[in-house]
Structures are given as C-alpha cells and as structure tokens.
Amino acid sequence: MTSLELFNAIQNSGFGVFIGKQDRMLWAVAQIAHIAGIILVLAPIVLISLRLFGFGLYQQPLPKLAHESSKLIWLGFGLLVVSGLLIFIPAALHYHSNPVFWIKLYLILAALFIQVTLYRWITKQEKPNPWLARSIAIVTLTLWFGVAFAGRFIGFV
Amino acid sequence: MSVLAFAELLYDSEIGTSLRESLFAFPIVEGIHLIGLALSVGLLFFIDLRLVGLVFRHVPIPQILKQLRPWLLGGFAVTMATGALLFVAGATKLIELPVFLWKLAFIVFAGINAAWFEFKWGRNVQQWGYATTLPTGVLVAAWGSLILWSLVVITGRLIPYLSY
C-alpha cells in the first residue's frame, strides 16, 4: 500500500467522512486545542533550555525541574496528537500533496527521538557538562521550533 | 484621522502590501509570532502556575519572577512586533472584525493586570514571596493572567475562522 492509498483510505473511512461533515467551528476548536498543545510543549522546553544554558533557574536542581515540566510536555503532546488527527483525518489527501506537511512530520519524529534520548539523558543529571547541555538545548529547541514553524507554514503553501 | 482611515493607510503602505503579496513573508512572520508566544505567554504561564501553587512549589517565587522576567519580556517584544506586522497586512479587515477587537481588549486587560501586579506586588516580592499563604491579590492576579492570556490566544486563533 502506498502512502497515497493509505491517506485516501483514512480520509474516506467512516470516521473521516463523519468528521469532514461537521461544522467548520469544530475545526476551529481543534485548532485552538492544537495551539494550546504546542504552547504546553514549547514553554517547558524553553524553560528547561534556559536552565541548560544557565540563563534561568540555575540555583534549582535540573532533574526536579525537568521531571515536573515533562508532565506538561506530554499533556501538550497528547493534545497535539488528538487535535492534530481531527484536523488531518478529514483532509488527509490535501495534506498528502503538501510538502511542508511531510517536513513537519519528519521534524516531529526527530524532535520526539531527541526528546526521549538526549534530552531525557541530560536532564537527569545534577551537573551536566555545560557545553553538552547547551548543545542539546539548541538541538531540542531548533527541532520543536521547527515543528511549530512548519505547522504555521502548512496553511500557506 | 479616523481609526478606519488609519487602518487603510497601514493596509496600503509599502510594508502592508509587500507582506500580503509575498509568498513567504506572511507565514514567516506568523511562525515567529507563534514562537514569540511560547516565550512570552508560555513562560508567563509558568510564573502564574507557580504563584497559584500548581508547579515548581520548591522554587522560591522571588527567584522565578526575577530570572524569567527578562526572557518573557523579550518574548512579548517579539510577539508584539510580529503581531503589529500581521495587523498592518490585514488592517482594513481586522479593524472591523469583532473577534479581533475582543483580542485587543483582552490584551489591554491582561496588560493592566500585569502592570498592577508589578507595581503592587512585584516590587516588594521579598516581603511576601516566601510566605506559605500568598496574599489574595497575588492569586487573583495570577488566575487573571492565566485566564486573560488564554482568551487572547483563543480569540487570536479564531480570527481566520470568523473573518469572512
């Protein structure tokens, strides 16, 4: 099965057709949940990055800050997935032909991979190597900002 | 000059026209607006959530206020600057759009709330910031900030859906 056939099946599934028939305001509500989700993901990443750079909350133990804020990150990510699927499913074919959609998808995969590997590893350390901490902060920020940026771009391509 | 005439002037200005007509300028400004939002409203939410006691209870309030303030103010500068550009690009339509005017009103209320907090509580944070129970005024300002900025984001996101 090609990705085009898969996307076609998704859009024309019972659920896809059902969501597609709903009022346009449902889409707007999904978009609001989507922006709430991205703020919940980005704000903790920005905060922890400031800590990794030594620019903010530097007197506080890194693992404790990261542990508490990770709850917000995953709550936000859950919101993003649910609202994102609601936006995507009824218009899957439309997104299939949008190059920025694919860029965003790969950026999400890369950001998630870094999140559960390098980011998780560095934020568990009480005193991480400063340059390593800064490098990982830059990679994490770049990928998640890239996701947000690509997301904003999709509608204009 | 009336507000409408001023909006028209902005809309027809060189910068307004080039933003509208460029393929990439508009989405780039939109993208920066969103990232600015993560810094400004995002970091402010952390302070508000700390004040109401939902996150980082172990972090002293004077510390989080002092250390995050410059970053979130920088974030607001980015958000406001890109927001002004986005407004110029669509000034004539936006100025008559109820949901946009609501957004502006919520920004003004949120700004007044923040200014009141800074003058009344922010300056003498050392006096109340370490207490186990915070002054009611502080809690009101924090909840007000959470609610008002959420409304700003919501009305902002609704603009394209209610603009025709």
> Residue A42's domain spans which residues?
3-154
Model ipTM? 0.91
Instruction: Using an 8 Å CB-CB cutoff, list chain A residues near B35.
Output: 42, 145, 148-149
**Length of chain A in terms of residues written:** 157
For B34, which of A68, A148, A156 is closest by C-beta distance? A148
Could you tell me if A152 lies within 8 Å of chain B, comparing CB atoms?
A: yes
Mean pLDDT (whole number) for B105-134: 93
DSSP A127: S
Could you tell me if A1 lies within 8 Å of chain B, comparing CB atoms?
A: no
pLDDT (tens digit, 9 = 90+) per residue, A98-111?
Answer: 999 999 999 999 99
> Is the CB of residue A33 less than 8 Å from the CB of residue A143?
no
- Is pLDDT of B142 > 90? yes
| CA separation for the pair A114, A107 (Å, rounded) | 11
When the pLDDT of each residue in chain B is averaged and rounded to a whole number, the result is 93
Residues 6+ apart with CB under 8 A from A147: A38, A104, A107, A108, A111
Q: How far is A4 from chain B (nearest CA, A)?
A: 27
Mean pLDDT (whole number) for A128-141: 96
> Which DSSP string corresponds to B103-154?
HHHHHHHHHHHHHHHIIIIITTHHHHTT-SS--HHHHHHHHHHHHHHHHHHH
Q: How many domains does chain A have?
A: 1
- Is pLDDT of A14 > 70? yes
| CA separation for the pair A108, A24 (Å, rounded) | 26
| CA separation for the pair B75, A50 (Å, rounded) | 13
How many CB atoms are closer than 10 A to CB A40?
Answer: 23
For B27, which of A38, A60, A156 is closest by C-beta distance? A156
| CA separation for the pair A13, A88 (Å, rounded) | 13
Contact criterion met (CB < 8 Å) for B42 and A46: yes
